[in-house]
Amino acid sequence: MKHSETTGKPVEKRQETNGPEGAPLIIQDHYEIDYRHSYAQDSPFFVGLSEGRLLGSRCTGCRYMYATPRAHCMECGAPTTWEALPPTGRVHTFTVCYYGGESFLKETPFLLVLVEFDQVNTLFLSRLKGVPLEEVHIGLPIRPQFSDTPTYKVTDVWFEPIDRS
Amino acid sequence: MRPVYMISGGITKFAKAHPEKDFRLMVKEAYDAALQDVPDLSKDMIDGGVGSYFSDHFTRQLKAASMAHDYLGLCPKPSKRVEGGGATGGLCFQSAWEAIASGRMNCCVAYGFETMSRVNTWKGNEFIALASDTNFDFPVGGFYSGYYAMMVNRHMHEFGTTVEQMAMVSVKNHLNALYNPYAQKAKRLTVKQVRESPMVATPLTMEDICTMSDGAAVCILADETIAEQVCDRPVHITGIGSGSDAMRMADRPHGKVPLLPHEQESDYARLKYPGVHSFRGGRMAAKLAYEMAGIRNPLEELSFVELHDAYTSSEIQTYEDLGLCKYGEGGRFIEKGIPFMPGIEYGLPLPDQGRFPVNPSGGLLACGHPVGATGLMQAVFAFWQLQGTIEKHLDSPALQLRDPRRGLIHSHAGTGTYITVSILERT
């Protein structure tokens, strides 16, 4: 943890209350941290995105197919294998976010979608771009687009409507 | 298992910020308020405590429950911290129940708190969203309101639920809270005002979503001997249940509804469940709690519910999970006026007003949601309701139901990943 130069600087002192006991002292205390985050068994998915491939997981036991990958099946516990998802999907549900967590505020408004694929048992969360906000609806056919400059985050893929992309 | 009773409860005022009090002092205030109602309970009768707070990021103090425990003067008695997202308080309540039911303790204090004011609202939203999958979900949006908005859009698609029905939940809960001095955000609203407040994530507006809060709550649970010794009107906890679902909404299955005794498979012949429109963990929690308490038809056999309405949409979805109505009928349930309080003027046509009050206290929408305290706050309101001491504690009889016999409290975490249901009965 790194403490910034602002650490310990009083930013607010309430003087309106009676006496020292009633006046809380509030300081600004900055902290930040770098993690060494491993994608571990999910790593092939993120490598796949950097190569323009969207990979899901198929169970080697019960054949359940996951749009969002996991190395072991939630249904039967068997290991899964990597399998490419279909080239197109549809909007299962969506929302337009006008606010967000602090680091996403600059991107608002943005569209979140859960994507459904034929013959796949689960969904995939992504952003939808390249469509007027009022034209989005459940069932809209969409397909993935991949970043040319991968950051090895799940945002290296997003979706666009088929007839516009 | 031994019978378990709630013998007292205390709450601090929930507020946007309590800069003059840290979490220890807030818990102490709630604890002292609870002790005041059971003067014959001495410290040597208390066997231990369970602490409840959600986020180490908000507190910036690991093992904060240890500090609350020592501040209450409970060392060296047993102590631990329980954490389960938004359901932290409900899980804490059930952990204390387990301590008594198992015979490990005869009296246990459940205390919870959250200090969310230490960061700005949007950093706070980021902290909360870290309770979603940080590989696959957080980097895409990092915003719980967005997740719930996607869920209710699918609910609207499946069942025809409307934004006006959701707004009615907001009108009801904010107005109930006008009679609850502990609430953070009591006010009279219209459906139009709810819809015209700033859009957060379509279709949820600011008035569809609870706020962040500072606050604490305490419940004291005991066995029969202590309950009889120190409390005039103890409340019997006759059922507990909890459930779970996959962290990623995307992973939820599309299968069959686990049925309650008053439902039939044919009711849901074409419904793919839970998908992202319903909370499977809530249905599981209700089913287990009803089985323990011997409840076959909740609408007929319960008097009221205090449920986790972090969003107006999740209140409607929860009516269905709890079996107060069938899946798909939650919107009409509120529209008919069933979950409104009797005897309060809401400015809405409500043909079945007051038939089954939900969130008499004002719920999270109006009381606020200091996460670790919330589930315990619901228990305290339900306890006072069943004791018939609402007027004593809230300085108004407006929210006191006539002759309530059995109440349900419901606590809920991250898009339904952990959910608890507990049943409380008058003795």
pLDDT at A6 over 60: no
Structure tokens at A42: 């999910």
Looking at the DSSP bridge assignments, the partners of residue A13 are A25
d(CA B311, CA B316): 9
* A27-41, B159-173, B402-416: segment of lowest average pLDDT: A27-41
Q: How many CB atoms lie within 10 A of CB B62?
A: 9
Q: What average pLDDT does this structure show over B355-381? A: 98
Q: At residue A11, does pLDDT exceed 70?
A: no
Task: Identify the pLDDT of residue A7.
Answer: 47
Asked if the model's pLDDT at residue A21 lies above 70, the reply is no
Pick the closest to residue B151 from B14, B337, B159 (CA basis). Answer: B159
Strand partners for B111: B51, B218
Helix (H, G, I), strand (E, B) or coil at A105: helix
pLDDT of residue B111 exceeding 60, the answer is yes
Judge whether B235 and B383 are in contact, CB under 8 Å: yes
A110-A116-A120-A122 Cα dihedral, nearest 10 degrees: 60
Structure confidence at residue A10 as a pLDDT band (50, 70, 90): low
Q: Which residue of A has its CA nearest to B153?
A: A93
| Cα of A103 to nearest chain B Cα, Å | 8
Size of interface A-B (CB pairs under 8 A): 130
- Partners of B125 on chain A (C-beta within 8 Å) are 99-102
What pLDDT is recorded for position A163? 78
Among A156-160, B123-127, B382-386, name the one with the lowest average pLDDT.
B123-127
Q: Round to whole Å and give the CA distance between B372 and B81.
A: 10
Q: Give A95's contacts in chain B (Cβ within 8 Å).
A: 146, 149-150, 153, 201-204
| Contact state of A99 with B122 under an 8 Å Cβ cutoff | yes
Task: Tell me if chain B has a CB within 8 Å of the CB of A122.
Answer: yes
At residue A12, the pLDDT reads 56
Asked whether the predicted pLDDT for residue A2 surpasses 50, the reply is: no
Distance from CA of A60 to the nearest CA of B (A): 18
Name residue A159's beta-bridge partners. A128, A144
Q: What is the pLDDT of residue A39?
A: 97
User: Is pLDDT at A54 greater than 50 in this prediction?
Assistant: yes
Is it the case that residue A47 has pLDDT exceeding 60?
yes
Q: Nearest residue on chain A to B149, judged by CA atoms?
A: A95
Q: Is the pLDDT confidence value at A8 over 80?
A: no
Q: How confident is the model at residue A23 (pLDDT cuts 50, 70, 90)?
A: confident
Preferred mutation among B18, B152, B248 to probe A, highest tally of A CBs within 10 A: B248
Cβ of residue A39 closer than 8 Å to a chain B Cβ: yes
pLDDT score, position B392: 98
Closest CA relative to residue B13, chosen from B213, B219, B178, B210:
B213
| Whole-angstrom distance, CA of residue B55 vs CA of residue B413 | 12
Is 60 exceeded by the pLDDT of residue A5? no
Query: Confidence band (pLDDT; 50, 70, 90) for A13?
Result: low
pLDDT computed for residue B142 by the predictor = 85
- CB contact under 8 Å between B141 and A74, yes or no, is no
Give me the residues paired with residue B422 across strands: B240, B409
B29, B30, B245, B383 from B25: Cα distances, Å? 6, 9, 35, 23
Res B287 pLDDT > 50: yes
Confidence of residue A3 (pLDDT cuts 50, 70, 90): very low
Q: Which of residues 125-144 of A touch B (CB under 8 A)?
A: 125-127, 138
Cβ–Cβ of B140/A122 closer than 8 Å? Answer: no
A104 touches B at CB < 8 Å: yes
Q: Is the pLDDT of residue B280 over 90?
A: yes
Looking at the complex, does the CB of residue A47 fall below 8 Å from at least one CB of chain B?
Answer: no
- Token digits for B178? 């006008």
Burial B175-196 (b: 16+ CB within 10 A, else e): bbbbbbebbbbbeebebebbbe
Report which of A76, A52, A46, A49 is spatially closest to residue A63, judged by C-alpha positions.
Answer: A76
Mean pLDDT of A72-87: 98
- A18 Cβ partners below 8 Å, 6+ apart? none
Q: Do B254 and A121 touch (CB under 8 A)?
A: yes
**Which 3-state string (H, E, C) describes chain B?**
CCCEEEEEEEECCCECCCCCCCHHHHHHHHHHHHHHCCCCCCHHHCCEEEEECCCHHHHCCCCHHHHHHHHCCCCCCCEEEECECECHHHHHHHHHHHHHHCCCCCEEEEEEEEEHHHCCHHHHHHHHHCCCCCCCCCCCCCCHHHHHHHHHHHHHHHHCCCHHHHHHHHHHHHHHHHHCCCCCCCCCCCHHHHHHCCEEECCEEHHHECCCCEEEEEEEEECHHHHHHHCCCCEEEEEEEEEECCCCHHHCCEECCCCCCCCCHHHHCCCCEECCCCCHHHHHHHHHHHHHHCCCCHHHHCCEEECCCCEHHHHHHHHHHCCCCCCCCHHHHHHCCCCCCCCCCCCCCCCCCCCCCECCCCHHHHHCCCHHHHHHHHHHHHHHHHHCCHHHHHCCCCCCCCCCCEEEEEEEEHHHCEEEEEEEEEC
Domain ranges of chain A: 2-32, 40-161
State pLDDT tens for residues A118-164. Answer: 999 999 999 999 999 999 999 999 999 999 999 999 999 999 999 75
- Tens of pLDDT, residue by residue over B330-354, are 999 999 999 999 999 999 999 999 9
Mutation site, A35, A99, A127, A147, interface B, largest B CB count within 10 A: A99
pLDDT of residue B408 exceeding 50: yes
Best to test chain B binding among A41, A74, A93, A98 (most B CBs inside 10 Å) = A93
For chain A, state the CA radius of gyration: 23
The CB-side HSE value for B317 (13 A sphere, CA atoms) comes to: 32
Looking at residue B92, what is its pLDDT?
Answer: 98
Alpha-carbon span A132 to A135, nearest angstrom: 5
Q: Is A87 exposed, middle or buried (0-12, 13-18, 19+ CB in 10 A)?
A: exposed
User: Across the interface, which of B142, B204, B251 has its CB nearest the CB of A122?
Assistant: B251
Query: Cis bond leading into B198, ω under 30°?
Result: no
Q: What is the mean pLDDT of chain B?
A: 97
Look at residue A17 and tell me whether its pLDDT is greater than 70. Answer: no
Relative to beta strand B406-413, strand B418-426 is: antiparallel
Contact state of B125 with A127 under an 8 Å Cβ cutoff: no
pLDDT value at residue A32? 87
Asked if the model's pLDDT at residue B181 lies above 50, the reply is: yes
Asked whether the beta carbons of residue B141 and residue A67 sit closer than 8 angstroms, the reply is: no
Query: Does residue A22 carry a pLDDT above 90?
Result: no
Measure in Å the smallest separation between the Cα of B87 and chain A Cα atoms: 21
Chain B residue numbers with beta carbons less than 8 Å from the beta carbon of A127 are 140-141
